[in-house]
Amino acid sequence: EIVMTQSPDTLSVSPGERATLSCRASQSVSSNLAWYQQKPGQAPRLLISGGSTRATGIPARFSGSGSGTEFTLTISSLQSEDFAVYYCQQYISWPPLTFGGGTKVEVK
């Protein structure tokens, strides 16, 4: 099973600032990585697949980078609606599909 580890657990950021979230895989997943955003009481929403390809309708301020075992999700200028929990997920080798533990982005 590929274990996904996200850091930090919580990120405190002021609106308008940049947020950088990390995701590490226990073994290479190449570019087979997705990012999701989840707001309280809502289902997760796909942001990025293939490590860096934004899903339909996702604003350009969200960008993904990395390959192999190290990945980054960057939110270039945080808007109020971006405060949420973010999860990474690998899909190179399944079952099982595995998610990271999540990073909560909160208002500083």
Site of interaction with another protein (CB under 8 A)? 1, 32, 34, 36, 42-46, 49, 55, 87, 89, 91, 94-102
Least Å from the CB of residue 75 to another protein: 19
Length, in residues, of the chain:
108
Closest to another protein by CB, 17 or 106: 106
- CB closer to another protein, 6 vs 69: 6
Q: Which residues sit opposite 33 in a β-bridge?
A: 90
First to last CA, the chain: 36
Task: Fill in the amino acid letter for 102.
Answer: G
How many helices and strands in the chain, by DSSP H and E? 0, 11
Smallest separation (angstroms) from another protein to the CB of 25 = 14
